[in-house]
Structure 1
Amino acid sequence: MEHDAVKTLIEAGIPGCEVHVQGEGCDFSVEVISEAFKGMPLLKQHRMVKDTVKTQLESNELHAFSIKTYTPEKWASRG
């Protein structure tokens, strides 16, 4: 898969989010920033992101997939 394809899938599944993608082939790490994560447990945030690429994970088109999620405030306070 390409960076842009991963980014597009996540953005389509979580409207209004900001996505940063690193990696290549079928091994990617993503940072996703979204208002939708406010008040949501971390596990649920990660599940929400994973659901956007569920088909690609099931087909092994996307194999290793690391997720970090942030609210806009948490992202801004990272330093």
Structure 2
Amino acid sequence: MVDNSIIKSVLLKILPLQKVYVSGDNSHLKIIAIGAIFNGLSRVQKQKIVYAPLVSYITDNHVHAISIKTFTPEEWDRDSQLNGHSIII
């Protein structure tokens, strides 16, 4: 099993993200990634960007399933205002 903080560190180290939230029981992860890197990309493209650094954890069976939500900083600010700044994964 891999700790959620390791997944968060990997994503922040490899991708130019402003924020990353990781929750779950290590084998079934829920990830929220926020960064300007997502501007103008399709949902599939955004998920591929987040998924790519985690492939080795998946192929080594450290992670079984991943749910990914991505936001640009503007989308995150707008969503946070609508939801009262709560993080719902």
Give the shorter-chain TM-score range. over 0.9
8 Å Cα contact 2:32-2:70 kept in structure 1: yes
Which of structures 1 and 2 has the larger relative contact order (alpha carbons within 8 angstroms, sep 6+)? 1
Kindly state the Cα deviation for residue 46 of structure 1 after the two structures are TM-superposed: 0.1
The alignment's C-alpha RMSD in Å is 1.0
Count matched residues. Answer: 79
TM-score of the pair, normalised by structure 1: 0.93
Alignment of 1:48-67 (within 5 A): 48-67=49-68
Q: Give the whole-Å Cα distance in 1 for the aligned partners of 2:16 and 2:40.
A: 17
* Structure 2 gaps, min length 5: 83-89
Aligned sequence identity (%): 25
Q: CA deviation at 1:64?
A: 1.1
Return the alpha-carbon distance in structure 2 between the equivalents of residues 46 and 55 of structure 1: 16
State which structure, 1 or 2, has the greater radius of gyration over its C-alpha atoms: 2
Q: Higher strand fraction: Structure 1 or Structure 2?
A: 1
Which runs of 5 or more structure 1 residues have no equivalent in the other structure?
none
